[in-house]
Amino acid sequence: MADYDYDVLVIGAGPGGYVAAIRAAQLGLKTACAEGRATLGGTCLNVGCIPSKAMLHASEYFEAAAGGAMAAMGIKVKPELDLGTMHGQRKDAVKGLTGGIEFLFKKNKVDWLKGYAQFTSNDSVEVAGKTYRAKNIIIATGSSVTPLPGVEVDNDKQIIVDSTGALELAKVPGHMVVIGGGVIGLELGSVWRRLGAKVTVVEFLDQILPGMDGDVRKEANKIFKKQGIEFKLKTKVTKADVKGKKAVLTLESAAGGDAETLEADVVLVSIGRRPNTDGLGLDKAGLAVNQRGQIETDHDFATQVPGIWAIGDVVPGPMLAHKAEDEGIACAENIAGLTGIVNHDVIPSVVYTWPEIAGVGLTEEAAKEKGEVKVGKFPMLANSRAKTNHEPDGFVKVIADAKTDRVLGVWCIASVAGTMIAQAAQAMEFGATSEDIAYTCHAHPTHSEAIKEAAMAVTGKPIHV
Ligand code: FAD
Ligand code: NAD
């Protein structure tokens, strides 16, 4: 290795970076990972997937007790909210899991270079005043909140916040306005609605959850409305003024027109995330970003500069932790001379609301653009387990190629859709037809039987509806 400090130096210790570093070390490569945050795990473990799920899970229990779901099963309770303890268990989850990554780094002999890395050339970076040379450098710097001009986030004041601030609110807001009806807005909006806030979602487009299947978007909107969330679709926020302890938002129709105002105790800005490349010194490495600020790679995760690779939220594709992790493994394996592949056509996505919303593969709209399809649908109301559990909302939809019957996409709205979607992803990874799923024995009574029935419905023969 002569004058190289490392075989592999990873920049960023989120799910993309830390997983790439561990796999590289497991493959016998001398590995370091630079991370400027005080704890490892990136957005996902510190301020993303994990703390949001801690609050979603706890608030789901609170609502089940307060909102009557338990009473329907003969359990009468009057819950009292102890928000401090709820936040405490969120922080415990984060502490435990981020500490776990530090342990894994030590176990696998990955050096943590503490500080923010900056390229000094195409094979060197500087971290905390020291320069390191590496044969391979993986950029896994992730993403940050997209700012909205005229709506300035100040998480400390807890009036206009981003997702990080919305996880930390010290009291339940009277009225929370969420700007952006995407994944973050609906998940964190759900948390605070369950705990007692009135929630209004302002969405620029004509429907929430862009990118998801059209039927799913419509049904989700209906369910959230029934839960009490108010939607202002085709609407944009043009500015926000903080007046005392409140924010006054100016809203306009997306197409332009008369302005109206809306008062909020807390405003959550959740209009998307953008790749982190500022301050990385990409020019010193001979790299540039595309029009969306992302670093382009080939199928192997190699950039146009030999020896520099990129993965996760900083490259094109869905901004999801499991996508970043799989890219991390594949990238490290490619560096080690193995064949690392990620099938980007089969990346499941889940919205962890109640019920959960999950999908994998093509939407019906996208599948129809490619050719003739057959679609099978099955309502959760007709699934014995969901019905028994008092979880009637939602459906499963299987989209298959009309000629070959190969499954092109599966979409679910169901209490445990996030767990159900794994079997659809695995089936698609193996090139399954709808008939393969329909003739696979599913345990009874489970929510997953709805996937089998939706697959049976592709040929018009479900049993229970
Ligand atoms: P990140 O996790 O963003 O990590 C990048 C790391 O790089 C950061 O720690 C950063 O400090 C570090 N870094 C940046 N620049 C430098 C530098 N120059 N030097 C050193 N270090 C640097 N996804 C899911 O799949 N499921 C979910 O349930 C989910 N929930 C989410 C909830 C919220 C509120 C948010 C905000 C996101 C959520 N996501 C979820 C998305 C998920 O967090 C990201 O897709 C994932 O973290 C991306 O991983 P990454 O490794 O690419 O980047
Ligand atoms: P998003 O892209 O999911 O949703 C943003 C929404 O804001 C869209 O509906 C968009 O039309 C709307 N919007 C954009 N500009 C607007 C404006 N000016 N006014 C009103 N609405 C506007 O983004 P997000 O919810 O911020 O999440 C960011 C990323 O984090 C996503 O890519 C997501 O994949 C990831 N994430 C994933 C999970 C999960 O997997 N469960 C959870 C949270 C976040």
Q: For residue range 389-408, what is the model confidence (pLDDT) as tens digits?
A: 999 999 999 999 999 999 99
Catalytic option among 344, 444, 447, 464: 444
Between the CA of 105 and the centroid of ligand 2 the distance, in Å, is 32
pLDDT at 406: 98
Closest residue by CA, ligand 1 atom 36: 48
Rounded Cα distance, 168 and 266, in Å? 12
Closest residue by CA, ligand 2 atom 18: 236
Please indicate whether residue 351, judged by its CB atom, sits closer than 6 Å to ligand 2: yes
Pick the closest to residue 378 from 211, 212, 210, 215 (CA basis): 215
Between the CA of 56 and the centroid of ligand 2 the distance, in Å, is 17
Contacts of 291 (CB under 8 A, 6+ apart): none
Distances (CA, A) of 409 to 212, 344, 354, 415: 11, 13, 22, 19
Please indicate whether residue 236, judged by its CB atom, sits closer than 6 Å to ligand 2: yes
Contacts of 226 (CB under 8 A, 6+ apart): none
User: At the top level of CATH, which class does the domain 6-145+274-335 belong to?
Assistant: alpha beta
pLDDT in tens, 152-175: 999 999 999 999 999 999 999 999
Rounded Cα distance, 392 and 444, in Å? 17
pLDDT at 256: 85
Rounded Cα distance, 39 and 48, in Å? 14
Atom of ligand 1 minimally distant from the CA of 167: 34
Q: Do domains 6-145+274-335 and 160-271 have the same CATH topology?
A: yes
pLDDT in tens, 179-225: 999 999 999 999 999 999 999 999 999 999 999 999 999 999 999 99
3-state SS assignment for residue 18: helix
Within 6 A (CB) of ligand 1 lie: 11-17, 34-37, 42-44, 48-49, 52, 116-117, 140-143, 163, 184, 276, 280, 312-313, 319-322, 324, 352
pTM of the model: 0.98
Please indicate whether residue 187, judged by its CB atom, sits closer than 6 Å to ligand 2: yes
Domain locations in the chain? 6-145+274-335, 160-271, 349-458
The overall average pLDDT reported for the chain is 97
Rounded Cα distance, 267 and 246, in Å? 9
Q: Which fold has domain 160-271?
A: FAD/NAD(P)-binding domain (3.50.50)
Pocket test for ligand 1, best of 127, 141, 187, 360 (most atoms within 8 A of CB): 141
Beta bridge partners of 400: 374, 407
Confidence of residue 2 (pLDDT cuts 50, 70, 90): low
pLDDT at residue 68 tops 80: no
Q: Which fold has domain 349-458?
A: Enolase-like; domain 1 (3.30.390)
Pick the closest to residue 163 from 92, 40, 269, 265 (CA basis): 269
List, in sequence order, every beta strand (DSSP E) within 105-211.
Answer: 111-114, 117-121, 124-127, 130-139, 143-145, 160-161, 175-179, 198-202
pLDDT at 143: 98
- Specify whether 444 is catalytic: yes
CB 398 within 8 A of CB 407: yes
